[in-house]
Chain A
Amino acid sequence: MLYVTTTHYLALSFLLFTIGIFGIVARKNMITVLMSIELVLNSVNLNLIAFSYQLSDLTGQIFSIFTITVAAGEAAVGLGILIALFRLRETTTLDNASELRG
C-alpha cells in the first residue's frame, strides 16, 4: 500500500481535476475561474507523466510540453479578456458580464 504506483498518481490527478472543475463552475470571480482552469490542465499533465513512467515512454513528457504551451497561451488570452472586461464593467465578477442575456 505504501509503494506509490500509477494508481496513486491517477487518484491525485482526479482529485485536482475535480477541485478545478468545481472552482470553474462554482466561483464568481473570473480570476479564480482562470486559476481553476490552470489546476485542471496541471492535473492532466500529472496524468500524462504518470503514464509516461508506467509505460516507460517519452511521448507523455513531449505531450505535456504542448499542454503547458497551450496553458500559457490560454492564461495570456484569458487575462487579456479579463482586463477588457474590467475596463468595460469595472468588475471581475462573471455575473455582471450578462450583456447578451435576453
Chain B
Amino acid sequence: MEFLTAHGADLLFYLFAALAVAGALGVVTLRNPMYGAVSLLLTFLSVAALFLLRHAEFLGIVQIFVYGGGIMVLFLFVIMLVNLHRLPAVNLFSGSTPFAALFAVALLAFFGYFIVHLSFDPALTRPEVFTMVRGENLGNSQAVAWSLYTTHLLPFEIASVFLLIAMIGAVVLGRRQ
C-alpha cells in the first residue's frame, strides 16, 4: 500500500504508456479500418491520461473532447460512408513496406541514441505555474485561457481563421458535383 501511494503516478504512466503503444500498433497492423479507429481511440484516451499526469488538465479534457469526440466520430462516419466490404484479402501493406520497416528501425536507432545519451536535470516541479493567474491560484483552465487571450491572442485568432478555411475546404471537397 505504501508502495502504491509512493509510486501510483509512475505506475499509471507505465499502464497508459503500454495502452497507448498497443493502440498505436493496432492502428498500423489491423486489417479493418473500423478496428483501427477503435484502437486509435484507445491511444487518444491513454495520451489524455498521460497529459493529466503532467499537470495539463485542460489539455487532457480537450484531447478527449476533440480527438475522442470530434475526430474519432469523423473517422467512424467516413469509414461507414465509404464501402469497405471488399477489403483486400492479401496485400495489407503496400510495396514500400520493407523500406518503411528499414526507415522505422533507423528512426528508432536515431531516437534511441538520444534517449541513451540525453540526461535531463530533475524537473522543475513548480506545478503552481500551471494554475496561477496574476498571483491567484485559480486553475489550469483559467491559466491557459489567460495566456491564450493575452500573450498568444494573435495565434489564437489565426487558428480560428485556419479552422474556418479548413471547414470551407472540407465542404467544397465533399460536395457532390
Size range of the interface on B? 35 or more
Report the separation of the CA atoms of residues A52 and B53 in the bound assembly, to the nearest whole angstrom: 12
Contact A16 B144 (CB under 8 A): no
Report the separation of the CA atoms of residues A27 and B59 in the bound assembly, to the nearest whole angstrom: 30
Contact A35 B20 (CB under 8 A): no
Contact A35 B67 (CB under 8 A): no
Kindly name the residue among B36, B59, B91, B172 whose own CB sees the greatest number of chain A CB atoms within 10 A.
Answer: B59
Chain B hits for A31, CB < 8 A: 33, 36-37, 75, 78-79, 82
Contact B123 A14 (CB under 8 A): no
> What DSSP secondary structure best describes chain B's contact surface?
helix
Chain B hits for A25, CB < 8 A: 96, 99-100, 103-104
**Of all chain A residues, which has the CB nearest B78?**
A79
Report the separation of the CA atoms of residues A74 and B71 in the bound assembly, to the nearest whole angstrom: 10
Listed in ascending order, the chain B residues whose CB lies under 8 Å from chain A are: 7, 9-10, 13-14, 17, 20-21, 24-25, 27-28, 33, 36-37, 40, 43-44, 47, 50-51, 53-56, 58-59, 62-63, 66-67, 70-71, 74-75, 78-79, 81-84, 88, 91-94, 96-97, 99-101, 103-104, 107-108, 111-112, 114-115, 118-120, 122-127, 129-130, 143-144, 147-148, 151-152, 155, 159, 162-163, 165-167, 169-174, 176
Q: List 23 A-B contacts (CB under 8 A).
A: A9-B50, A10-B115, A12-B17, A16-B20, A16-B43, A22-B101, A26-B93, A27-B94, A28-B92, A31-B33, A31-B78, A38-B40, A53-B123, A56-B129, A58-B130, A58-B143, A71-B71, A72-B166, A76-B169, A79-B74, A80-B170, A83-B81, A92-B82
Listed in ascending order, the chain A residues whose CB lies under 8 Å from chain B are: 2-12, 14-23, 25-29, 31-32, 34-36, 38-39, 42, 45-46, 49-50, 52-59, 61-62, 64-66, 68-77, 79-84, 86-87, 90, 92-95
